[in-house]
Structure 1
């Protein structure tokens, strides 16, 4: 969705401006590629979610790409510590278990390479395959890279 349309949608539904509930806590929110909340004077909790339909024919490679893609926005923001990964998997009922196992194995292997703990996830029945995840981690506040300062 184009940034301006998303911004208007978020404003119209009251999802922009919630940072007023905890002044100074929100470090990154709507308009950024990840969210960040202050945990302490120097440390922030950073989170991002991303998923997509297959872009390659190999289910294992698709799982790896989906996991690395979800984490890449955290890495771009300077967040590389204490990573946790919640896998997202959607699939039609007729998709063979072997294919789902390969997708999840790709996600698992990517998480091992990223030193990310697999925290769990969510699955749904979907008319097409979907893979990705929600990734969380911590970053030093002074190391966070915002879109406006990149």
Structure 2
């Protein structure tokens, strides 16, 4: 079900779209360098490896897993925007192998420009995803903002000894991708032309719960989700944290229908180009520049990049001994 607010194109009120509007990874790392937060032995996963969520050990052999994610409109339809943003926020919890429990809305809204009915549709979309995930959506915070923004702060629970982490990639294991790439270029085309890509919306609103559960059942220890830094950016962060090299077989990577045509027609976001420039010094590649742009495509609510094999998802590479480059693409 979609909303009935067609006269307003939400993407036209945003300078960027979805996870493509993230601050570049290199700038973030440089800015955070030298900042030292308070910590204790209860912190299981923090800033050090740039993982998907923070993990803190609590009593009774459990851990709290906490994350937040929000962004500007990635599609024009308000209800779908809410669903996509909520699924994307929940993804960080699933990427850690955790079960989300409660979510709080994060809202920025130009209340003198866009009707509150539209915001209600955004929130309805988020609540419907929360219902699907069996997560309490129990409040939040809103501000008057020149750009429409939406997302969630999500808290989950996990076994601290059975997490999916980005620093546990082991040599000799396959690399699996649970959703096709290409939503970045399709969303950029949507923003420019108004064309609607229902299969991209379906991919972005599909929860990563089943993939997370399958990874845990298979004994997987390492995973991350593929979002704003693209497949190459998130694979690089995992390879660096784990002290290995990740080799990607470009021909095995799946793409959404229309992604290559959108690339050919020039619908590449600035975020995607920044992703590629960030990883390029760490990359040994023998594929075309266009192929690298697709692999660096800034995803919104992408799939999991899993170190191991899980049923129904393609193997797109392998983990090898650390070499001169953390990333190899062939």
Task: Tell me how far 1:143 sits from its aligned partner.
Answer: 1.8
Task: Find the counterpart in structure 1 of residue 109 from structure 2.
Answer: 91
Task: Find the counterpart in structure 2 of residue 7 from structure 1.
Answer: 29
Q: 1:79 aligned to 98, 114, 117, which one? A: 98
How many residues in Structure 1 have an aligned counterpart in Structure 2?
Answer: 144
Q: What is the TM-score of this pair, normalised by structure 2?
A: 0.42
In the alignment, does 2:103 pair up with 1:67?
A: no
CA distance in 2, matches of 1:113, 1:48: 19
- Consecutive unaligned residues of structure 1, counting only runs of 5 or more, are none
CA distance in 1, matches of 2:119, 2:166: 35
CA distance in 1, matches of 2:59, 2:132: 28
The aligned runs of 1:94-105 (5 Å cut-off) are 94-105=113-124
- The answer to which structure, 1 or 2, has the higher relative contact order (CA under 8 A, 6+ apart) is 1
Task: Find the counterpart in structure 2 of residue 29 from structure 1.
Answer: 46
Segments of 4+ in structure 1 off by > 2 A? 1-15
CA distance in 2, matches of 1:144, 1:125: 38
CA distance in 1, matches of 2:105, 2:129: 11
Q: 1:109 aligned to 109, 116, 128, which one? A: 128
More strand by share: 1
CA distance in 2, matches of 1:49, 1:125: 19
1:88 is paired with a residue whose SS is strand
Task: Tell me how far 1:112 sits from its aligned partner.
Answer: 0.6
Q: What is the TM-score of this pair, normalised by structure 1?
A: 0.89
CA distance in 2, matches of 1:116, 1:84: 5
Task: Find the counterpart in structure 2 of residue 122 from structure 1.
Answer: 141
Task: Tell me how far 1:49 sits from its aligned partner.
Answer: 0.3
